Structure 1
Amino acid sequence: MNVLWEGDVVVAGGGSAGCAAAVAAVRSGASCLLVESAGFLGGTGAAVLDTFYGFYAPGPVSRRVVGGVGWEVCERLFEAGAAFERPNTYGAGTGVTYEPEELKLVWDALVPDALLHARVCDFVPGTGVVVETVAGRFLVKAQVVIDATGDAEVAWRAGATLDRPGMRLQPMTATFRLGGVDLSATSTAELHALMADADLPRREGSVHRTVHDGIVHTNLTRVTGLDPTDPVQLAEAERVGRRQVRDYVGFLRAKVPGYGSAVLLSTSVRIGVRESRRLVGRYVLTSDDVLAGRDFPDTIARCGAPIEDHASGDATRWEYVHDFGTYGIPYRCLLPVEVGGLIVAGRSLSATHDAHASARSMGQCMAMGQAAGTAAALAVQAGVEPAAVDTELLRKRLREGGALL
């Protein structure tokens, strides 16, 4: 098989975690190639959503818990006039709402070497990965592979132990944008009261302003009972999501003041997946860790987000960290037990269903990605496996890169 690229680190997946990992690896002195199946970077952040959560912990005082590469992205968006901060609908901490098209450009500027329209289709122990491209399959050689696919696809192909808890998986959501909306005509509480009497799969959720006057972004639909790692079921989820979008748009136009002249501008590029495969790594983060606000000697990211479980009927279950505290995410949560040369970053981290429902926010994904990229570079430079990286040195390098630990 022909070699397409050879270097230190390869990152599979160009979402929040993968992009941050690639930036951190290069800034730490490693050569790095990012492989992304779409034609743009940003992943769910550019294809489905328009708000970063997890940068701030909830509570009476706004407290930022993520810095580094992730916060640099936010600052670039602020400077471009393409982002603003807003309170979360459910008191889950300040969110950063941004323009997805500008986010694509920000990641283009930050990620030096990205292979788009390509997908990692095999893991080759000790060598790297195989990628599928428009010109066929190629070998990409690297000493360390970072799985930032969101679905733990590389870890699955490599034979790592994974947890996919059947249909307790969180539901998927097709988001959509509307134009011609007067948000001042209906409060969130009034919207939810109207939804409570409607025949809809989800009777709460978010409709919020964007950087453009009269344009709103929604997080309303709820697609349940389908497995995003099953190709047939994933295709059906996309169809169900679009039908739900039609129903929600019809409800908003007919029943909600301010939406009578609303126009559907777009639906999400792909359905939003909250949860699929999760790594069972060297440490499994638990709900007790989250709710008690525990810290760890190898903490590489912080989180204050509540447990936000959408897998509980037509409403969402919220449980908050004790006393508005925060908890640490250990480096061990990114490390497979059985597979060498591999780090898993992003929403596939090693965590239980409940803990994952807190740690999966994009702010934390960027923080985990920065840790993974930094650790990969340190592993290459020291000639050791990622699991043997000196965690004190890793934490020192992360702090030097602006991370908040």
Structure 2
Amino acid sequence: MQWKETIKTDPGHDYPVIADVDVLVVGGGAAGVAAAETIGRNGNSVLLVERYGFCGGGAVAGLSGTICGLYMSTDAHNAVPEQAVFGFADRFLRRMIDLGGVTGPIRYGKTWTVTHDPLVWREAADGFLQDAGVQILYHCQVVGVIMDGDHFQGAIVNSKSGFGAVHAKRIVDASGDADVIYRAGLKTSKGRNGVMQNPTMIFRLGGVDVHAFNEYWGDDSISPKKVIDQLVDADPSGRTLPRKKIWIFNTTRPDELMVNSTRILGRDGRHLDVTDPVDHTEGELAAREQVRVYQNFLRENVPGCRDAFVVDTGVEIGIRQTRSIAGVKTLSNKHVTRRLKVSDGVVRSPWPIELHSGERPYVEWLLDDYYEVPYGTLVPEVGENLIVAGRCLSSEHEALASCRVTAQCFGYGHAAGAATVRSLKTEQRYRDIAGEEVRQALNEDGAGL
């Protein structure tokens, strides 16, 4: 199928203007919520556009269900969770705790994560945005851009009512897929030579005797060797149970588990590109079938799961990787593996390189350490008045397998928001703002960098 990339127009367009704001935030995932709240709380007019009827992005629509990237990893005996990421991520975590929508730290290999209730995540996001005076348009999607040369002036939005224009002094592309950058025709890349990390379909399993399950499974959410062996015995070819190392988490709800077990490929075994709707659709169909196969495996093989049933799957498959922008700076693989700290670092990440390709995810731990993501990775090398936030930052393939998770996406949104506040106040271009100044603003706002 052939697609026209964009509707691209200039400021003299004839679309009806539905909003004229200081900032347009595209996408209501972790990064978009953090950016919009930060900008709105500082007295600017903000419109957030989200394609679903709720915020949450991959954390909610994709049902990723965990806030990964908060804690250090370690091999130390009898270690306890050490939180390394603060700022907006910590504020959101505290709100979720107050609402009873998040577990305590759960062991995940050599680190910890927390599991959240997706409904409470939506409610927490709604509260943050409304408290900050952010205008929200759900069920809308950006389909085009308004540009004067290489200066973004706004975007064209599609809804059930038709097309409308949003004029904005600044844009935060928190789509996760660099949708605004792409629709402007600016440079992006995908994975390693076009091959991206596999999507997954996460599901919730009800009717579980959680005590019996925990007794068998152990205190690590990553499958023990005995379960890996059972998966191999049940499907040595890997055709119906393609992932052998799976993750299962306790949740905030009684008698329920959250299961991350699937590996989604095309029917012919090819890696999928979910920016292509043909691949995306094929992935959704295959994913729901695979969920049932893993459900049956758990019912037949794992204590506590005999009467288990699927409560729900994600609204869409969980997407780990699509487009990355070409940025003023690029987060390199070596930057991550060498745990580099930089003066213009605006986000801290202790999360391992977690590369999903093959029967078992490849994991490289950053034991007792972290790295910092430079500000310039959020600024496109070409294009003015726009900054990105989220997994579409400028990053090499393996580095993205570490820096893409939820706590860090909260951080990118917080950083993009702080930079936008400064850009509006001083009338500076994003590329002319020093990352050290953004870092200072973040620390004044509780980031603890």
TM beyond 0.5: yes
Q: Which amino acid aligns with 2:84?
A: V
- State the SS of the aligned residue for 1:64: coil
Q: How does 1:4-403 map to 2 (within 5 A)?
A: 4-47=18-61, 48-59=63-74, 60=76, 62-91=81-110, 93-112=111-130, 113-125=135-147, 126-165=152-191, 166=193, 168-182=195-209, 183-187=213-217, 188-189=223-224, 190-199=226-235, 200-224=241-265, 225-311=271-357, 313-321=358-366, 323-403=367-447
State the SS of the aligned residue for 1:380: helix
CA displacement 1:228-261 (0-9 Å, x = unmatched) = 1101110110001001001111111122222111
SS of 2:356's equivalent in the other structure is strand
Q: Deviations over 1:6-42 (max 9, x none)?
A: 1111110000101111011112332111100000011
Cα distance, 1:283 vs structure 2: 1.0
Displacement of 1:110 in angstroms is 0.5
Same amino acid, percent of matched pairs: 35
Is residue 167–residue 226 contact of structure 1 (8 Å, CA) maintained in 2? no
Greater displacement, 228-237 / 155-164? 155-164
Deviation at 1:168, TM superposition (A): 2.5
How far residue 332 of structure 1 moved from its aligned partner, in angstroms, is 0.3
Q: Contact 2:345/2:436 (CA < 8 Å) preserved in 1? A: no
Name the SS of the counterpart of 2:290 in structure 1: helix
What residue identity is the alignment partner of 1:72?
A: R
* Structure 2 runs not aligned, ≥5 long: 1-14, 218-222, 236-240, 266-270
Q: Are 1:210 and 1:217, in contact at CA under 8 Å, matched by a contact in 2?
A: yes
Partner of residue 220, structure 2 = none
Are the equivalent residues in 2 in contact too, given 1:209–1:217 (CA < 8 A)?
yes
Instruction: Report SS of the residue matched to 2:103.
Output: strand
Task: Tell me, in whole angstroms, the C-alpha distance in 2 between the residues paired with 1:342 and 1:208.
Answer: 38
Distance in 2 (CA, whole Å) between partners of 1:234 and 1:283 is 30
Contact 2:204 2:256 (8 Å CA) reproduced: yes
- 8 A contact 1:13–1:36 mirrored in 2: yes
- The letter for the 2-side match of 1:114 is I
The amino acid of 1:365's aligned partner reads: C
Contact map agreement 1:170 1:310 (CA 8 A) in 2: yes
TM-superposed CA distance for 1:197, in Å, is: 2.1
Please list every run of at least 4 consecutive aligned residues from structure 1 whose deviation after the TM superposition is greater than 6 angstroms: none
Secondary structure in structure 2 of the residue aligned to 1:265: strand
Secondary structure of 1:217's aligned partner:
strand
1:142 and 1:293 map into 2 onto residues whose CA distance is: 37
* TM-score, length of structure 1 as denominator length: 0.96
**Aligned partners of 2:440 and 2:45: how far apart in 1?**
21
CA distance in 1, matches of 2:375, 2:216: 44
Are the counterparts in 1 of residues 153 and 385 from structure 2 also a CA contact under 8 Å?
A: no
Instruction: Name the TM-score, length of structure 2 as normaliser.
Output: 0.87
Query: What is the CA RMSD across the aligned residues, in angstroms?
Result: 1.4
How far apart are residue 185 of structure 1 and its match?
A: 4.7
| Contact 1:98–1:210, Cα closer than 8 Å, also in 2 | yes
Instruction: Name whichever of 221-230 and 82-91 sits farther off.
Output: 82-91
* TM superposition shift of 1:297: 2.0
What do residues 145-185 of structure 1 show as CA deviations (whole Å, max 9, x unaligned)?
11111111111112222111355200000111111112235
Asked if 2 retains the 8 angstrom alpha-carbon contact of 1:57 and 1:326, the reply is: yes
The equivalent of 2:9 in structure 1 is none
Asked if 1 retains the 8 angstrom alpha-carbon contact of 2:339 and 2:372, the reply is yes
